[in-house]
Amino acid sequence: MHKTVTKLADGRELIYYDTEPTVRDAVDARPLEPAASVSEIRIDPFTGDAVTIAAHRQGRTYHPPADECPLCPSRDGRLSEVPAADYRVAVFENRFPSLAGSSADHVAPWSDGPYALTPGTGRCEVVCFTSDHGASFVDLSEQQARLVLDAWTDRTAELHTRPDVRQVYCFENRGADIGVTLGHPHGQIYAFPFTTPRTAQALARAAEHLRATGRNLYDDVLAAERATAGREDSRVVLAGEHWTAFVPFAARWPYEVHLYPHRRVADLTELDEPARAEFPRIYLDLLRRFDRLFPEPAPYIAAWHQTPRPAETELALHLELFTIRRTAGKLKYLAGTESGMGAFMNDIRPETAARTLREL
């Protein structure tokens, strides 16, 4: 992997990732003013959850036409967020971030009785998987998918060195049904200054399991799923030498798959080379199966779960992939029970979903 770090016109960082040394000297010629982030992190007094308030994002880019895509390369006089005329993988600071270090310049910590807020520091980055506007992650070659993995890993390593970052979250939203506002194939990285609520809950469960059994919860779950491989009721979808993909026992979404490396690690930086080399084949296979579920490509969220810093050794790196579509033309809405109470109701048995994905 070859990495080139440069700046955009308003001072935001832009990073090119290439498979070999490449000259990246294009200059951003847009007349941009430095952006100011005024995010706040407010603590819910009833749950302790951190809620980010980022009112400055209301004016962000929303469903631009393809010929005005801000993630495409700058070509034919049209200037975008990527000054180069072409690129392999590009990562840059979000122009409309939910979290940014500059929030500390505009928001002061405050508390009053049951209420407290702090500046919404941290960082939000955009990861462009390819310069091809019409592609999707599933269309990438294994070499290109490996380059994206290397970019995720590099960003995780760098962001974890920042004093205002507690947890690094790499993810992709695909499809208008998910809420994607830019059609170019891309993902995002959020560097949170707090441990996210779902991760905090998972850490508590893992600690409870360790106290009760003396074993790691993630090791036990992976072992239980791998032991069923080959059975009709198995939830394993596919497996390689270093990774296993399975539908979770208590899946919340109609089609939900978790992808685990066989060797437990805390985050992407700790994956060994054999696991890195196998990942593109396994992950692209999994995405192709999702795209065969329905007549149209499945809208999905792909989410890397990584250990916060300082390291919480009981949490294991894994990827969670799920679609909000429950059948052709029908979405799984988060209505009364899910949105109101956080109590998920799934219309498809996990074992049935796994069998369907295996057969695809």
Which positions are catalytic?
A: 186
Residues 6+ apart with CB under 8 A from 359: none
Q: 78-113: buried (b, 16+ CB within 10 Å) or exposed (e) per residue?
A: eebbbbbeebbbbbbbbbebbbbbbbbeebeeeeee
| Separation between Cα atoms, residue 334 and residue 217, nearest integer Å | 28
Length of the chain: 360
Q: Does 160 appear as a known binding residue?
A: no
Only one residue has tokens 């199966």, namely 289
How far is CA 226 from each of CA 47, 161, 243, 251, rounded to the nearest angstrom?
Answer: 35, 35, 10, 17
Q: Does 242 appear as a known binding residue?
A: no
Only one residue has tokens 């497996």, namely 239
Tokens of 118: 């702090």
| Separation between Cα atoms, residue 307 and residue 280, nearest integer Å | 22
Helices and strands in the chain, H and E counts: 5, 17
Q: Does 106 appear as a known binding residue?
A: no
Judge whether 151 and 159 are in contact, CB under 8 Å.
Answer: no
Q: Does 262 appear as a known binding residue?
A: no
Tokens of 74: 């700058």
Q: Binding site for Zn(2+), residues?
A: 69, 72, 133, 184
| Binding-site sequence positions | 69, 72, 133, 184
